[in-house]
A and B are shown apart, each in its own frame.
Chain A
Amino acid sequence: MSRNSGRPLSPHLTIWKWGPHMLVSILHRVTGAGMAVVAGLGFIWWLVAAASGPEAYAGFLTVATSWFGYLVAIGLTWAFFQHMFSALRHFVLDIGAGYDLKTNKMAALATMVGSVLVTLLIWGPILARLAQGAE
């Protein structure tokens, strides 16, 4: 689309004061797109490898249980819960609730605190067990 440069643009990103709701909105897209590619490809690889036989599956497991595999899994865990909590917030917003400033801000913050907390609760014990096994 060509734009008539003689016409003014409506005020956009630059005039808004930053708030948690903006960050959550961006994170929802980033985590969604990230999972669509990384978790999507990982899920396909896991199933195709399992269906192809023990050798192919061993190749998948070697990568999945390497330090890189754990790093990706921790990232995906956080992305999953960030996207999930943010989606639950979206359901509330979709029915027209939760728009007053304080509630909106608290709910936005809660999604981020929640996703980090759940990721730590899940991976803390697993990493502790792995560290014990490595000793």
Chain B
Amino acid sequence: MGSGTGIGRVRGLGSAKHGSMHWWRQRVTAVSNLLLALWFVVSLFRLPSFAHGVIVQWIAMPMVAVPLILLTISVFYHLRLGLQVIMEDYVHEEAGKVFFVLLLNFYSIAGAALAIFSILKIAFGGVPA
């Protein structure tokens, strides 16, 4: 921190001006989670069984694979936003905060990537039912 003018000392210490977008996206993904998660749970329990062949044939359908990918994006984005707020509230030390938010970003992006790749592999016929 410089010892220059008053404005020079406080510059860069304020809000990043991303707060309202974070808040709004939390709500948008909450609504999409609500619709997609309810669809997911209800459809899953309407299946005759959870056997491998049944699940693979189910996921391979376009009207299942696409909502499932959208659900993955919506849920992992929502949990990234939510956990970030929790970390910012309870991890007071700067280094720890950076570490946990970094870990959170890695988890949410890697997790979503693994899930989406698996869905696509099944949908494109990469897994014999």
Give chain B residues whose Cβ lies under 8 Å from the Cβ of A29.
86
Residue-wise, chain A 66-97 has the 8 Å CB interface mask toward B (1 for contact) of: 00000000000000100010010011001000
Interface of chain A: mostly helix, strand, loop or mixed: helix
* A interface size (C-beta, 8 A): 26
- A53 part of interface (Cβ distance < 8 Å): yes
Interface of chain B: mostly helix, strand, loop or mixed: helix
* B interface size (C-beta, 8 A): 29
Q: Which of A12-20, A42-50, A106-114, A127-135 lines the interface with chain B?
A: A42-50
Closest approach, in angstroms, between the C-beta of A56 and any C-beta of chain B?
A: 9
Known: A40-B75, A40-B79. A47 touches B56 (CB 8 A): no
Binding site for B on A (CB under 8 A): 1, 29, 32-33, 35-36, 40-41, 43-44, 47-48, 50-51, 53-54, 57-58, 61, 64, 80, 84, 87, 90-91, 94
